[in-house]
Structure 1
Amino acid sequence: MTAGGYFHENDSIAGRTAGRPEGVLEAVANRFIGAHPALPPVYRVHSVNGFPRGADYRYVMDFTSRWPEMADGQFVYAWSRVWSDQEAEVPFSLSCFSPAKVYVNRSLVYESNLNDDVFPDRNAYFRTKLSRGWNHLVLEFVRTGTGCGGKFGTGSIKGFPLHVLAPTLDREGQEGWVYSAPQVLPLSVIPGGEDGEAVNAAFLYPEADWTADQRERGCFARIFGSHPGKLAYAWAKVENRGTGSRSVCLKGTFQGPAAVFLNGVPVFRSEEPAAEVSLELNVPCGCHELLVRSMGTGSHWGFTLEAEGEKVRLVPPYPVQGLPGTWLYLGPFSAAPDETGLCRMDTVFGEGEERTFWQADRPGARIRPYLENPMFGRWNYPLGVTLYGLLRTGVELGRPHYSDYAASHIGQCSSLFAYSEWDRETYGSPGVNHQLSLIDSLDDCGSFGAALLEAHRVKPLNGAPEAAARIARYITEEQDRLPDGTLYRVRGTTDFMKDTVWCDDLYMSTPFLSKYSRLTGDASYLDDAAEQFLLYRSKLFMPDRQIMHHVYDAKFGKGNGVPWGRGNGWVLFSLTELLALMPQEHKRRQEILSFFRELCEGYLRLQGTGGLWHQVLTDPDSYEEASCTSMFLYSFARGIRFGWLADAEPYAEAVWKGWEGLTRRCIDKHGNVYGVCRGSGYSFNPYYYKDGLSWLLNDTHGIGIVLLAGIERIRLEKHLAEHSGSLPQACL
């Protein structure tokens, strides 16, 4: 950091935009979107015959059950690989059922001790480096009287919901592990590295191939079993790679009554238990949906179908990594589902116990989506405010591609909501929407949920009402509360978080509750939001300074004494979200408005000489922090525009000064945002916040709120110009 900011003054964006806040918003939004393109989840084959995972995202490797005849002292191995975009140190966790070793790229990174081996309910945490590119993970277990195996996987469920890929060529692209049979001697060479792509003869499980008898029974029978009278489907595409319409002949055989549909139009139907087919069709250039429906009649049930024609072929209907062959399979169903809606990858099909998703033609092979993007399509609270900022930026600037990008991100999450709930119920840990599907805190739902509701207002999103209803149910019925109704943390990722009230959680709850009240017309949600502010005020407000403690710790019966910048910013920001939707006649409005004014007075006094607020608000030696600065500017500007502040003049000056400081000291000419505090824990020690809680470049805790602050800066200037310099009176 230079004396004047985080970079040289010549690199600031302030001197490059001719005083136009719009240019700042465009640079920040463009940089973020360019760095995180809109990509869908990756669909992969998953084997239900492999290791299951629990809600903690760890693989349960119980080799005692898999090899019940395994003798004490024998060895067994599990092997997988993970891709890393860059060199990074990552967290892992292992609970041992027996002695264990963990190798990463052939290097021993963890070995269990005598305690680990006899306490299978304990978690051993360790961190290790992953190299850029492929990294091979190998676990070695020894059978003892206590068992054999362990639970292995991520050491950070929320931050690093790791899934692994099979490392052998015959399972290329599939999710999961391969493992060995028991052996008397340990492996002389740990697999991985240069030979990682080769098939290792020791790793043959779970079984990847059908037996000859299973193949002879037909595809539906070997995948689903024998189900007389039930229906199953297969989906592929006919691809014409020519420049015009071409003739194609579909040839094959059917076991069981069947029908074939091309782009939803029936082109073949047979009620016979067995039939041969040769269909001459004319298909235009491009890809066309090919759907087969068949009814089971006995132990043999299936079909074969090939395409013959110049530059015409059958291809998989959707890119699925690790897919053997061309077709996806669905069923069995007692009654036909809506066949017009079958050719899709974002929904669960069927009713009741028959609810299911697509499968592949391999033992136990299921198709599942996995989110492998670092940002796009991810559901977490910092991204909630980032996307909120992008949504509003698109509307404010008349640039729909910003709003469309944010809505696409949010819509990807909401459209997969129902699927991810089923995925969690079926497989233990969902491959997408992991925080939404495994809600256990306000962080998991409120912030992103508020952005979801805003996006749904701009453009209706598939699955948004259902996801919002789940969030509302969690906050109102499941989230822990003190006897007086205060939302609080009865547990946390660490012991010190137990029994605490964080001012951050006002943002993780009240904006969503306010917006959900608007959506549903149910005033109880807005009433709850208002009550939370008054309850939090009673525990966290410092009346002498007119600012907030970061955390109230019920274990000690007091606040922690540290006015952390962003925590205070969340409070004021959230108050404006509530006040903007609160009816004038609401019974709590005057109390809420008074609280807003008190806080504004306190924060106004603490603005730094450079226009920014500090990481610790009362410590000018702590670093200038961009996210809290943006939230104070946003809130002051709204307070003026909506008439909430009686003496608006000093607050308007604070907005001009703060925006100038933000654009000169925290945003560079490329749209990079500096000085945003990383995600926090909490402490009674102010030096934790000042020295231990560092800032990050382009952290998502700050990008969206910088955009929102810029929008309010633009609106305030327009508002004051329209009023010819006359500031509005306070709205009483």
Structure 2
Amino acid sequence: MKSKLNRYLMIAFATVQVAYGFDQAAAQKKESADLKNFPEGEGPAAIGQKIAAHFVVTPHTNFGRSTPPRYITYPETCTWYGALTFAKETKDTHLLQQLAERFEPLFGSSDTLIPKPDHVDYSVFGAVPLELYMQTKEQKYLNLGKQIADKQWGTPEGPRVNAEARRFYAKGLSWQTRLWIDDMFMITALQAQAYRATGDKSYIEHAATEMVFYLDSLQRPNGLFYHAPDVPFFWGRGNGWMAVGMSEVLRSLPKNNPNRTRIMQGYQAMMASLLQYQASDGMWRQLIDDAESWPETSCTGMFTFAFITGVKEGWLDKTIYGPAARKGWLALIKYINADNDITDVCEGTNKKNSRQYYLDRKKNTGDLHGQAPILWCATALLRK
């Protein structure tokens, strides 16, 4: 009798242990996909505040050179935009005021710093005044931002116009089209912002049309993108521009837009491939599919943003991509140093048909190419 009782007790104990194990595993799985709760000091509000505050006091940058820029550079534009969206999500009116004050001289003595919108890298600047308009409702910001967005799709003009630009324009595309993957943030971010600011669907339709053209022209069977048609390497940050660009377009593209299905297909194919190439520590590499290349922070931030956005919007399976997004964020912020500069950022990079060229690119610290994606990720994590 005693032996039988002991056997029952052992079975009961084992059952409890198994159940506890299942509960523990389920809890761990849930925690790994959690995009709301982070260890103290590692959440999006705390990290974003530090990076945004650092940006506010940073002079206009010039791609690492000691001399001031002739005009606002696109990495600064991207960081400015990120700081503004972060201010919006945190309802930080003081930060918004600081970011608006940074802009104010551009309406006066420093107006020459406004980039001439005759190239994708210059035109993206318009995203900043459009965001300022949406948050402040001051007409001067809308006037400037809309003017830049309209020129991106307007009649080709200026010394940069060539026969290729005219061909693209004749096809209903932006004359600034050049089929570099970087363009799919530079063009689509501006047009999406113009749509958000005005409600005019022609802007988001421009962005979607351009995106489909780039997807059809450049996406490879594995879902990733060469830096350019003549450069067969999957450069990290270049692919990052595509990942963020698709996320930003899809976030605002109306459900009934005829191009939405095609863009979603391209986005999901890319995300599935990126999931396979994420390293065990959460990082992605300078050349995505090259195990000998180094972990790079700007592309890691961009891919993490795309994962976070996809999970939050319901485009990606939370149980699969949630853990990857969380792991990416927690890996990324480990590269922020005591000065709130992120390290291991690939320097500004032209295209070149050489693997060694990409492997040898300098690792910068505090480069705004890397600061911006941290703010984008912080914003995405805070969005409802």
Which TM bucket (shorter chain)? 0.7 to 0.9
Pair 551,386 (structure 1): closer, same or farther in 2 beyond 3 Å: same
How much does 1:87 deviate?
10
Q: Distance in 2 between matches of 1:596 and 1:516?
A: 22
Q: Distance in 2 between matches of 1:87 and 1:686?
A: 26
Is the CA contact 1:486–1:536 (under 8 Å) kept in the aligned structure 2?
no
Pair 585,670 (structure 1): closer, same or farther in 2 beyond 3 Å: same
1:433 maps to 112
**Structure 2 residue aligned with 1:26, among 49, 58, 61?**
49
1:218 maps to none
2:24 maps to none
2:377 maps to 709
* Counterpart residue identity of residue 515, structure 1: Q
SS of the aligned residue for 2:182 comes to helix
2:150 matched to 1:473?
Answer: yes
Q: Distance in 1 between matches of 2:372 and 2:39?
A: 21
Q: Distance in 1 between matches of 2:39 and 2:199?
A: 46
Is the CA contact 2:42–2:330 (under 8 Å) kept in the aligned structure 1?
no
Q: Distance in 1 between matches of 2:338 and 2:69?
A: 32
* Counterpart residue identity of residue 455, structure 1: L
2:230 matched to 1:550?
Answer: no
Is the CA contact 2:152–2:176 (under 8 Å) kept in the aligned structure 1?
no
2:206 maps to 528
Q: Percent identity at matched positions?
A: 27
Q: What are the residue-to-residue correspondences of 1:360-509 with 2, within 5 Å?
A: 379-413=72-106, 415-416=107-108, 432-436=111-115, 438-446=116-124, 448-461=125-138, 463-477=140-154, 478=156, 480=165, 482=168, 484-487=171-174, 500-509=178-187
From the CA coordinates, give the structure whose radius of gyration is larger: 1
**Structure 2 residue aligned with 1:677, among 336, 343, 346?**
346
* Counterpart residue identity of residue 30, structure 1: A
Higher relative contact order (CA 8 A, sep 6+): 2
* Counterpart residue identity of residue 527, structure 1: E
Q: Distance in 1 between matches of 2:257 and 2:355?
A: 38
**Structure 2 residue aligned with 1:659, among 329, 350, 359?**
329
* Counterpart residue identity of residue 650, structure 1: I
**Structure 1 residue aligned with 2:216, among 535, 538, 549?**
538
2:314 matched to 1:643?
Answer: yes
Is the CA contact 2:56–2:102 (under 8 Å) kept in the aligned structure 1?
no
SS of the aligned residue for 1:503 comes to coil
Pair 563,435 (structure 1): closer, same or farther in 2 beyond 3 Å: farther
2:20 maps to none
Pair 387,674 (structure 1): closer, same or farther in 2 beyond 3 Å: same
More strand as a share of residues: 1
* Counterpart residue identity of residue 381, structure 1: Y
Q: Distance in 2 between matches of 1:16 and 1:597?
A: 30
Q: Distance in 1 between matches of 2:112 and 2:298?
A: 26
* Counterpart residue identity of residue 51, structure 2: V
Q: For residues 21-78 of structure 1, what are the alpha-carbon distances to aligned partners after superposition, in whole Å with 9 as ceiling and x for unaligned?
A: 32222222233334449xxxxxxxxxxxxxxxxxxxxxxxxxxxxxxxxxxxxxxxxx
Q: Distance in 1 between matches of 2:194 and 2:260?
A: 18
Q: Distance in 2 between matches of 1:673 and 1:444?
A: 24
How much does 1:16 deviate?
9.3
Pair 472,607 (structure 1): closer, same or farther in 2 beyond 3 Å: same
**Structure 1 residue aligned with 2:368, among 695, 700, 711?**
700
How much does 1:683 deviate?
0.8
2:293 matched to 1:618?
Answer: no
Q: Distance in 1 between matches of 2:56 and 2:101?
A: 12
SS of the aligned residue for 1:444 comes to helix
Q: Distance in 1 between matches of 2:330 and 2:69?
A: 37
Give the total of aligned pairs: 334
SS of the aligned residue for 1:551 comes to coil
Q: Distance in 1 between matches of 2:58 and 2:120?
A: 28
* Unpaired stretches in structure 1, ≥5 consecutive residues: 1-14, 38-85, 91-158, 162-377, 421-430, 491-499, 553-558, 720-732
* Counterpart residue identity of residue 32, structure 1: F
SS of the aligned residue for 1:638 comes to helix
1:184 maps to none
Is the CA contact 2:126–2:149 (under 8 Å) kept in the aligned structure 1?
no
Pair 27,538 (structure 1): closer, same or farther in 2 beyond 3 Å: same
Q: Distance in 2 between matches of 1:402 and 1:530?
A: 32
SS of the aligned residue for 2:86 comes to helix
Is the CA contact 1:382–1:700 (under 8 Å) kept in the aligned structure 2?
yes
Q: Distance in 2 between matches of 1:533 and 1:712?
A: 21
2:22 maps to none
How much does 1:654 deviate?
0.6
* Unpaired stretches in structure 2, ≥5 consecutive residues: 1-37
Is the CA contact 2:185–2:242 (under 8 Å) kept in the aligned structure 1?
yes
Is the CA contact 2:311–2:321 (under 8 Å) kept in the aligned structure 1?
yes
Is the CA contact 2:133–2:141 (under 8 Å) kept in the aligned structure 1?
yes
Q: Distance in 2 between matches of 1:502 and 1:488?
A: 13
Is the CA contact 1:29–1:671 (under 8 Å) kept in the aligned structure 2?
no
SS of the aligned residue for 1:445 comes to helix
How much does 1:614 deviate?
0.9
1:690 maps to 359
2:178 matched to 1:510?
Answer: no
Is the CA contact 1:21–1:710 (under 8 Å) kept in the aligned structure 2?
yes
1:633 maps to 304
Is the CA contact 2:184–2:242 (under 8 Å) kept in the aligned structure 1?
yes
How much does 1:397 deviate?
2.9
Pair 610,35 (structure 1): closer, same or farther in 2 beyond 3 Å: same
How much does 1:573 deviate?
0.7
SS of the aligned residue for 1:585 comes to coil
Q: Distance in 2 between matches of 1:30 and 1:467?
A: 25
